[in-house]
Chains A and B, each alone.
Chain A
């Protein structure tokens, strides 16, 4: 055996001299570096997308703000850019956005949190793994379908409670949006609560606490960073939601804090203008970028807060 192996080694030896291997290795190395470059470019393309978003919004809005003063934009209480007497106050759109968002959060945060506590502290592993995917289907439904549901199912239902309310209102849009967001709150909060080490729960149970007491006084506070990040993410999702409000909340800008009234939101306004025939470069064209920039700044700052919360209050166990 030993003898044989030495012969094979000897016969093989000329083939592995550096002289022969060098071109092969060099080819391999070039190929490797090309592939690395290509993959890097793919990852870097995400940065280009962000640059594209920020750049487009800024450039188009800049031409808008050359015509409209910033003071008017933030203080004028009317948004009528396509009327003969144009006003460019963003407040009515922001108020519509905030009201629908608040309604949505009033639905999704209590429901989502209760579901998260139930799945993480009450349910067995089997139940959790069955219920979570079903729940997540809620956020997979196309939003235009939710819009239909809000306008033609929830709104007539709500009209029985508020008889003087019109067909289009922010309340039904907000409620349906809240149901859509429940999985975000529930799933993300549950993840945060599951990350709390079992020893903390055991300590609490050893003192005679019930599941609810353990959940509310031990697990919830320990997972607060993750849970609040989930809330902020839900908030950002609600602010950017488009089709539900475009279908069900009515499209006229309306500076009001009353959810039973119809109003337009930042997103619904963009849809409304895009549906019409707006020439490239006109003031109407620029307004949707100004509304989009406002929207982007809002969601971006919420996302930053969420990111910061997760990092700042992350407890190391």
Chain B
């Protein structure tokens, strides 16, 4: 469609006013046709992507719906596809997410606060910023390899909930940091200046003003980070998560002294996406139905978390007007 406006061919009729007019009309018409045609193609591309998402969900739901029963959530994996369930998988996902959130969120928010509110403009800051950008582009499986070398063997954490939670915390760190920084950046400087003018220290400005005002954006970012972490499979396979776990982690509370136990962070674990991977790579169709059922639950969780994030964003955006 390039070079469309080249003049109509030079024949006798083109030199007459009517000929020139009709040539221009044809030119405009063809350009409008291309314009409209591209619109149609682009809408098709959009539709294909959205249909893929819907089709994916419907396909999973159709395949897996017959397995989604209460027993599916309450039984351990089994050699018998009809008896197999996801009890150890969803409990594993839960405890790993707990460790991830406990480590990753404070660390990410603190790092974001430092870079926006405290960091001097110097080489070290610049280096940290470039470094975080780079970390965001590192494939997740490479984090898994690092965790295998460092957490599992060097620090002797073993193939435990702790190793997994730390790995996912580091993996989501760039997301939390970026979300925190973007949320902080929307706060007008006048708010900080007003607080400083009243004699507040830097931390007082940060903790009394910056942090509360940016909480909406930070919360949105952390929910998105956790939704990413909950679907991560590759790094956890790399650190040696088992695919067949028929027990639950040690309960954190007990009736005997000392009542609280942290033994669970050292326990072996499996998570929902790994359980699904295990089932999908088996040739029997019955196991693949289990995989579909696990997939429905996994997708439902990530989509719900993303929905919550979108809702949070809209809610805070409409409430806060500077």
Contact residues of A with B, CB < 8 Å? 28, 31-32, 35-36, 38-40, 42-47, 49-50, 52-53, 56-57, 59-60, 110-111, 114-115, 117-118, 122, 131, 133-135, 137-138, 140-149, 151-153, 179, 182-183, 208, 210-213, 216-217, 233, 236, 239-243, 246-247, 267, 270-271, 274-275, 280, 288-289, 292, 295-296, 299-300, 302-303, 306-307
Which of A46, A211, A243 touches B174 (beta carbons < 8 Å)?
A: A46
Contact status A240-B202, CB under 8 Å: no
Contact status B48-A111, CB under 8 Å: yes
Does chain A have a CB within 8 A of B118?
yes
Which of A111, A152, A213, A289 touches B31 (beta carbons < 8 Å)?
A: A213
Which residues of the other chain, B, contact A216 by a CB distance below 8 angstroms? 1-2
Which residues of the other chain, B, contact A208 by a CB distance below 8 angstroms? 5, 28
Does chain A have a CB within 8 A of B100?
no
The distance from the CB of B92 to the nearest CB of chain A, in whole angstroms, is 15
Does chain A have a CB within 8 A of B21?
no
Which residues of the other chain, B, contact A247 by a CB distance below 8 angstroms? 277, 280-281
A242–B139 Cα distance when bound, in Å, is 9
Determine chain A's interface SS by DSSP, over half rule. Answer: helix
Contact status A303-B137, CB under 8 Å: yes
Contact status B42-A303, CB under 8 Å: no
Interface residues on chain B, number (Cβ under 8 Å): 92
A275–B239 Cα distance when bound, in Å, is 10
Q: Assess A292 versus B237: contact at CB under 8 Å? Given A137-B303, A142-B273, A299-B137.
A: no
Contact status A292-B277, CB under 8 Å: no
Contact status A114-B111, CB under 8 Å: no
B61-74 CB mask vs A (1 if < 8 Å, else 0) is 00100000000000
Counting chain B CB atoms within 10 Å of each CB, which of A47, A133, A140, A217 scores highest?
Answer: A140
A303–B139 Cα distance when bound, in Å, is 11
Q: Assess A42 versus B135: contact at CB under 8 Å? Given A118-B39, A138-B53, A240-B142.
A: no
The distance from the CB of A52 to the nearest CB of chain B, in whole angstroms, is 5
A208–B143 Cα distance when bound, in Å, is 52
Contact status A270-B238, CB under 8 Å: yes
Does chain A have a CB within 8 A of B114?
yes
